Amino acid sequence: MRYCYFIFGTFLISTPVLATTYEVVATDTVNDGIIFSSDTQIVHGIVNNFIIEGTQNILDYGKVYNNTISGVQNIYYDGSAFDTLAQNATINIYSGGLSNNLTAQNSNINLYSGAKLTADTILQNSFLYVYDNNQLDNLILDNATVINNQEQNLNIANLSGNGNFVIKTKLSDVDANLLNINTGSGNFGLKLLDTSTDFDVPDKINILPKNSQNQETFYLVGNQMDIGAKKYVLEQNNNFWYLQETLNYTDTALIAKDTYATLSSVLYSHLDNIYNRMGEFRFNQNSGIWIRGLGKKLKFELNQNTKTDIDILGFQIGTDYKLSVGKLGISGAYTDSEQKFKLAGKGWGKTYSVSLYATFLNQKDAYLDIVGTYYRHHQKLKTFTPSAFAIHAKYNLNAYSFSAQLGHRLKFNRGYFVEPQIQGLYMNIDNIFYKTNLNTPIKGYGLDSTMIRTGLMFGKTWQNFAQTHILFDIIKEFDTKSKIKVASTLFNEKLDGTFFKLSGGFDVLINQKSKAFINIATMFGNDNVKIPIEANLGLKWEF
């Protein structure tokens, strides 16, 4: 059983603690006690020299003096706390509440609209969260952080020590008053989080007035900060601390550019399986159902000296039927892609597609293949500011493609064959518009890709139970330009050019109704795009 001791006038009362809530009424003065971790004290009167391990609520002209808080202290309208020591505690000061002479050690302090911190506020390894345009008398930081969450100015009569200020603000609206400091000394880091939507931002932004009599100095945590698509550094002159634009782009802007520019290559992965399937389907007289898994690695070197690697895994399932005039099929696919960048950040994509495909074969083994595909892509991005603040964004888009292929299989003795091919493909990717969690607008202006592929396949059929092949392709991609605008900065990327692709594979009969497939490929010859490895394998069951 626990005991709590109270002194009323000259009488000492020892009483067992049986309840969890204690109320000090307006006419009472309570001295020297403990509120344990599971208990609550409600203060309307006066409380002196208490240890609060649980929760203390101060309201209606309640006053507490010389309290030590290791739990939670809530100061409501007309409540006051004087000479408080907070140790590993949470202090919430609401509108109309006041804390005078607060020392916080390893604690979190929340200062809401209309609340007051007066006299000395000493923060040691602690966090002060400010939710409105508040006034602080004497703020002393010792490895502490002040976080302004409401894009309001913070007024400090006197500032000293060392620590950081995290300030969320619309820098397009700033007029040199993020912090108003009357007198100051010490060294302070700034983590500025820009939430502007109007990006007509000058290359120089005054953010803090500089008082020649003050001794405080400031620096940017991470040495730079992000505004729109550009990085800024902190400079000073006789009158102001100001942000100066650099020539460097933000990681967020470059990753947004790279992700959108390389998207067509992710979508093309859904077509590879279909054409591999059609290569077997057109010379087989039976209808069936098939499933294939795929894996692919892509490497890109893009403008602004950025590098992107994409790993793709997925599967595709389809069914096809023999018709009187040809063969028709439908398939659905899903791929999961992970984008890795030279910069600080990552991307994750999920792509779904539905394809209709058909092949027509004449008696001389010449053929026409046609494929139409609809894609739905979901993209997520995560990057970081120079001060290590996480930037998140996501968007969805639609795309479609249409392709046609002509080929002719020339058969020779002992099952050998040669197969020249030519293919044309067109893909269209939607416009996009999205914002990051810091409100940075990003717009993609759509993407068209046109490709022509010529190929020559060499293969052998092994007595109708297996087939092997090697295929060499020359691929020419035309006018594949992507434009993406981050804030007011427009980026252009161009991925067209000539590529060479070498692939090989085989299919083998498992039994009279099923076959297995495998195909491995690599693409090279272009400085911007490479495919070190691509593989797919699968099974087919005949009806």
CATH number at residue 370: 2.40.128.130
Regarding pTM above 0.95, the answer is no
Query: Exposed (0-12), middle (13-18) or buried (19+): which is 522, by Cβ within 10 Å?
Result: middle
- Pair 271, 403: CB distance under 8 Å: yes
Q: How far apart are CA 356 and CA 340, in angstroms?
A: 32
Number of structural domains (the chain) is: 1
Cα distances (Å, whole numbers) of residue 352 to 316, 331, 333, 538: 10, 11, 6, 19
Domain assignment present for 496: yes
Structure tokens, 4 = 């709590």
The pLDDT value given to residue 174: 61
> Which of 465, 293, 258, 468 lies closest to 379, judged by CA?
258
Domain assignment present for 225: no
> Which of 360, 440, 371, 444 lies closest to 404, judged by CA?
371
Domain assignment present for 520: yes
Structure tokens, 259 = 């992700």
Domain assignment present for 39: no
Domain assignment present for 261: yes
Domain assignment present for 333: yes
The pLDDT value given to residue 151: 66
Residue range(s) defining the domain that contains residue 456: 251-542
Domain assignment present for 538: yes
In the chain, which stretches have pLDDT less than 50?
1-3, 5-15, 17-19
